[in-house]
Amino acid sequence: METKDLLKKVRKIEIKTRRLSDHIFSGEYHTSFKGRGMTFSEVRQYQFGDDIRAIDWNVTARYNEPYVKVFEEERELTMMLMVDISGSENFGTKNQLKSEIVTEIAATMAFSATQNNDKIGLILFSDDIELYIPPKKGKSHVLRIIRELIEFQPKSKKTDLSQALKFLSATQKKKAIVFLISDFMVDDDYEKTLKIAGKKHDVTGIRVYDQREEKMPNVGVIEVEDAESGKIITIDTTSKKARIEYEKNYHEKVNYFKDIFSKCGSGTVSTRVDESYVTKLLGYFKSR
């Protein structure tokens, strides 16, 4: 992609997602995700209803009347965006590909974190770690993340969620807010690595999918290419058995995603490419 076209795309995504984060997400994000702890702010005179455990006895003795310590939440956080850039993300039967919605969601979350003066990091993964950008603050940093989401070309088309989660646990020593964005159409068992990551971090899985992935249409004998392996498969879609088997396989992966995230104490959001991810994310934030 030429630099001029890339900058246009970055600017377009910035305008759309920044408006969403400024007016909708930043407040919800702030209240949904808590800081690391409480830090001392000031002392003030005791008021009826204050916790007596907060009384500052030194100041109380000095002024001969009760004073309490006031603490504020230590707000600064680190957000890690983990984005699946495998071959299956380049699929879409409506106006947008899954990868385009993934980019918009990641950009919106990044700008929401910036509004709260949090650091943002990025992990792009396939069946390997394709790119790692360490957490940092600032608009220019967010714009770099958006550029990479748009332009980066992965070396592999396959997916390995376990590998990505291992890398997260190895690189992020302090607690982070983690958004793992993928279609979760994977065969690997990622329960163990998600459980380890979930003990340290606040993890949310955001599943982006297309309506055509849910059901196989009856359109005769067709040849399809596996987006990740590149293998060409001939399927007779008139066969009811073939359609049922396809749907069964799809729902097994979706149910595994929901069950394992729930079991590991992590949140989930599912949004179709032709749905409003804004509504889905806001509903999730408010439910927290």
Whole-angstrom distance, CA of residue 154 vs CA of residue 149:
11
The DSSP annotation for 40-69 comes to EEEEEE--TT--GGGB-HHHHHHHTS-EEE
CATH superfamily of 3-32+75-287: von Willebrand factor, type A domain (3.40.50.410)
Task: Tell how far CA 1 is from the center of its chain.
Answer: 26
pLDDT at 94: 62
pLDDT at 226: 66
The answer to whether 83 touches 159, Cβ cutoff 8 Å, is no
* Structural element, H or E, at residue 267: strand 267-272
> End-to-end CA distance of the chain, in Å?
40
Identify the segments of the chain with pLDDT beneath 70: 1-4, 6, 22-27, 29-31, 34-41, 71-75, 91-95, 223-230
The answer to whether 145 touches 118, Cβ cutoff 8 Å, is no
pLDDT tens-place string over residues 101-126? 999 999 988 888 888 888 999 999 99
Name the residue ranges covered by the structural domains of the chain. 3-32+75-287, 37-74
pLDDT at 231: 74
Q: What share of the chain is helix, strand, coil (3-state, %, to 5)?
A: 45, 25, 30
